[in-house]
Amino acid sequence: MQLFYCKDISPNGFCTLDAEESRHAVRVLRLRAGDDINVTDGRGNLYQCKIIDVSDRACVVEATANASNQTIKHPDIHLAVAPTKNPARMEWLVEKAVEMGVAEITLLQCDHSERSFLKTDRLEKLAISAMKQSLHTMLPRINPAVKLSDWLTQTFKHSSIQAIKLIAHCEADKPRTMLSQALKLGADTVVLIGPEGDFSAEEINLAIDCGFQPVSFGTARLRTETAALYAVAAFNLINDRP
Amino acid sequence: MQLFYCKDISPNGFCTLDAEESRHAVRVLRLRAGDDINVTDGRGNLYQCKIIDVSDRACVVEATANASNQTIKHPDIHLAVAPTKNPARMEWLVEKAVEMGVAEITLLQCDHSERSFLKTDRLEKLAISAMKQSLHTMLPRINPAVKLSDWLTQTFKHSSIQAIKLIAHCEADKPRTMLSQALKLGADTVVLIGPEGDFSAEEINLAIDCGFQPVSFGTARLRTETAALYAVAAFNLINDRP
């Protein structure tokens, strides 16, 4: 199945693929008027469509079958991760985490960050591509970099968010639960993954104040992006997804 | 901790780092005679060593403390995977799987393989680097590409190998167990991951004949390397590793 992405589908079932999607349909796959394709809006809807007007810049398609609505709420994992110094490692992480069905990614600016900024537009393109590849119909949100302490205070300090909240850090002398024990079937989960230099003691304490539980991923020293993907894989296994 | 790799350590505790390790020690880290380093032989042993003779091509070191032997047998995961068309995806997989503690990787030539050959020397270098990065002391074996049907027949057909044996395929109309149900705490595990075009029906049947249990990783269409890494992560979670 070849899946296309179009953010806006009209109430009458028409949509216009953007330049990249149109070029892929017309130039790469050599599709023509009348051909059938599948389109998702990235919000859980899947449409069976027919190409109405072929153009390699703005292909118009019409939904022919009732949308298959896959917006049933599953437990979600929200990955909050410090960008790695090498941006390619983050790009790889976004691709793999989206394939595995991550719901939301927030980039964190931490005390020990070696990179505090990363353009989200390229990450969003990779996310769209990975969503289509893996036949997901929910496009994860990718939130631009935010200072961890501000984000914790504003989002979690005085909130009653119902989710398992975890902070993965490497300080072996502080009490930590094994990840496998901390995850729970059916529970939305937020996981904080630190930069190459780990979270600072202040960040760990603030996260604990905000209801986050410190977790260990074991004795191996995992790279930031490996730890982040491991958390998503573990969440999936516990919940029998993706 | 900075970990170095040296395959051969003499009974008296001397070893000579190879050119790459020596260059890293002397040129990058600017280490000198008398400095302390940690060395693993990739067979589960960790040595505390002192640099005796500085050279950026053949640094000589001597073990100063009794070796910490970490060769206790843990459950192992052996990943048998068809190389992806794009070799960079396999290189990435090897790095991440080694970080997560895979014990052995076998490259498979399958009926639908788009690439049936991949040089293992570069993969071995990546494996050494990932072992050091993640502070593992066991260097995984990377076996050159072998035809799946031959490998199954020769290794598993008439053998009593005590391991959970799994084949991950995408044929939704054939009975499959969810991965989370198929893995068992404490059990060595072999997982077969197919190429982009999946295993052929004949390959699936032969694997079942050889004692492999068909498993599903869920509804998402995971790329070969994502599925392979997901299997290693799942094995780790079940066994509370790495």
Model pLDDT, residue A103:
95
Partners of residue A107 on adjacent β-strands:
A81
B184 CB within 8 Å of a chain A CB: no
B195 CB within 8 Å of a chain A CB: no
Q: What average pLDDT score do residues A33-57 get?
A: 93
Whether A134 sits inside 8 A of B220 (CB atoms) is yes
Domain CATH number, residue A199: 3.40.1280.10
Structure tokens at A110: 């931490």
Tally of domains within chain B: 2
A221 CB within 8 Å of a chain B CB: yes
d(CA B227, CA B146): 20
Model pLDDT, residue A237:
92
**Could you read off the pLDDT of A155-199 as tens digits, one per residue?**
998 888 889 999 999 988 899 999 999 999 999 999 999 999 999
**Could you read off the pLDDT of B92-148 as tens digits, one per residue?**
999 999 999 999 999 999 999 999 889 999 999 999 999 999 999 999 999 999 999
B217 CB within 8 Å of a chain A CB: yes
**Could you read off the pLDDT of B159-175 as tens digits, one per residue?**
888 899 999 999 888 99
**Among A238, A144, A15, A111, residue whose Cα is nearest residue B237:** A238
Partners of residue A104 on adjacent β-strands:
A78, A141
Task: Identify from A230, A235, A241 which residue to disrupt to test chain B contact, counting B C-beta atoms within 10 A and taking the largest count.
Answer: A230
Q: What phi-psi label fits residue B170: left (phi over 0), alpha (psi between -120 and 50 degrees) or beta?
A: alpha
For B184-224, the DSSP string reads -TT--EEEEE--TT---HHHHHHHHHTTPEEEE--SS---H
d(CA B97, CA B115): 20
Pinpoint the alpha helices (H) of A63-182.
87-99, 120-133, 148-152, 179-182
Model pLDDT, residue A182:
95
Same domain, B222 and B145: yes
Partners of residue B144 on adjacent β-strands:
none
| The last residue of a domain, from among B47, B69, B91 | B69
Whether B133 sits inside 8 A of A236 (CB atoms) is no
Whether B236 sits inside 8 A of A223 (CB atoms) is no
Whether B218 sits inside 8 A of A241 (CB atoms) is yes
**Among A180, A230, A160, residue whose Cα is nearest residue B134:** A230
A241 CB within 8 Å of a chain B CB: yes
Residues of B in contact with A217 (CB under 8 A): 242
Distance (Å) from the alpha carbon of A112 to chain B's nearest alpha carbon = 18
| ipTM over cut 0.85 | yes
Across the A:B interface, residue pairs with CB atoms under 8 Å apart total 89
Distance (Å) from the alpha carbon of A181 to chain B's nearest alpha carbon = 9
Same domain, B100 and B210: yes
Same domain, B90 and B193: yes
Same domain, A54 and A101: no
Task: Compute the mean pLDDT over every residue in chain B, rounded to the nearest whole number.
Answer: 93
Same domain, A115 and A7: no
Whether A218 sits inside 8 A of B233 (CB atoms) is no
Q: Is the dihedral of CA B204, B207, B213, B217 positive or negative?
A: negative
Q: Are residues B239 and B74 in contact, defined by beta-carbon separation less than 8 angstroms?
A: yes
Pairing verdict, β A60-63 and A45-53: antiparallel
Whether B100 sits inside 8 A of A133 (CB atoms) is no
* Minimum-distance CB partner of B237 among A100, A180, A226: A180
Q: Is B146 helix (H, G, I), strand (E, B) or coil?
A: strand
B235 CB within 8 Å of a chain A CB: no
* Minimum-distance CB partner of B135 among A99, A220, A233: A220
Residues of B in contact with A96 (CB under 8 A): 226, 229
Domain CATH number, residue A10: 2.40.240.20
d(CA B228, CA B179): 12
**Among A229, A237, A242, residue whose Cα is nearest residue A96:** A229
B182 CB within 8 Å of a chain A CB: no
**Among B176, B206, B179, B180, residue whose Cα is nearest residue B108:** B206
Residue B229: pLDDT over 90: yes
Same domain, B52 and B95: no
| The last residue of a domain, from among A69, A91, A113 | A69
* Confidence band, pLDDT 50/70/90 cuts, at residue A219: confident
Same domain, A176 and A208: yes
Residues of A in contact with B229 (CB under 8 A): 96, 229, 233
For chain A, the distance separating the N- and C-terminal CA atoms, rounded to the nearest angstrom, is 17
Model pLDDT, residue A65:
82
Q: What is the CA radius of gyration of chain A?
A: 20
Same domain, B127 and B215: yes
Whether A99 sits inside 8 A of B226 (CB atoms) is yes
| The last residue of a domain, from among A69, A99, A115 | A69
Cis peptide leading into A214, omega within 30 of 0?
Answer: no
More confident residue, A74 or B187: B187
**Could you read off the pLDDT of B45-66 as tens digits, one per residue?**
999 999 999 998 999 999 988 7
A77 CB within 8 Å of a chain B CB: no
* The Cα angle at residue B130 between residues B135 and B166, in degrees rounded to 5: 100
Residues of B in contact with A136 (CB under 8 A): 220
Pairing verdict, β A45-53 and A77-81: unpaired
Q: What average pLDDT score do residues A55-76 get?
A: 82
Same domain, B114 and B7: no
B233 CB within 8 Å of a chain A CB: yes
d(CA B215, CA B189): 13
Structure tokens at B12: 């008296």
Residues of B in contact with A226 (CB under 8 A): 96, 99-100
Same domain, A207 and A179: yes
Model pLDDT, residue B25:
93
Whether B218 sits inside 8 A of A238 (CB atoms) is no
Same domain, A93 and A121: yes
Whether A220 sits inside 8 A of B226 (CB atoms) is no
Model pLDDT, residue A69:
67
Same domain, A87 and A38: no
Which domain range does residue B47 map to? 3-69
Look at A75-89, A150-164, A192-206 and tell me which has the smallest mean pLDDT. A150-164
**Secondary structure of B109-123 in the HEC alphabet?**
ECCCCCCCCCCHHHH
B71 CB within 8 Å of a chain A CB: no
